[in-house]
Amino acid sequence: MHPAKTALGSPELTPREGEVLFWISQGKSNHDIGVILGAKTGTICKHAEHILSKLNVENRTTAAVVAFETCRSDAQASESSPGQSWTAVAGFITTQLCALCSDGPDLYGEFVRLTA
């Protein structure tokens, strides 16, 4: 499963909204996210609106902070459960690799496929 769906997502977010939130937390614009995910900018705008509403926040910066706090909480929880530590490590590595190759959506798609 893609790290954005678990580490940066909220139970109320759809998998796609989790992906959008991940890229928002990486500082990407709606246009850039659309290019990365192969979606129209207007669609990404709608996803961003839904994310803000579901997380009950007013802006993208606050949504990114919520995402990072959720990620940190999940990491701390997985440290207390040894069986999940490898999942956390794999998710972290995948997140970092996706961030590094954000200019190459084809490679990003491969990471998503491999970690799903």
The predicted structure's pLDDT at residue 65: 86
Separation in Å, CA 41 to CA 29, 69, 81, 84, 87: 9, 27, 39, 36, 32
What confidence category does residue 7 fall into, taking pLDDT thresholds of 50, 70 and 90? very low
pLDDT at 21 over 50: yes
The predicted structure's pLDDT at residue 73: 64
What confidence category does residue 68 fall into, taking pLDDT thresholds of 50, 70 and 90? confident
| Mean pLDDT (whole number) for 11-16 | 81
Spatial separation of the C-alpha atoms in residues 64 and 81, rounded to whole Å: 26
With tokens 């007013």, the residue in question is: 58
What confidence category does residue 6 fall into, taking pLDDT thresholds of 50, 70 and 90? very low
Q: Which of 5-9, 13-17, 69-73, 102-106 has the lowest mean pLDDT?
A: 5-9
Q: Tell how far CA 34 is from the center of its chain.
A: 14
Spatial separation of the C-alpha atoms in residues 35 and 29, rounded to whole Å: 10
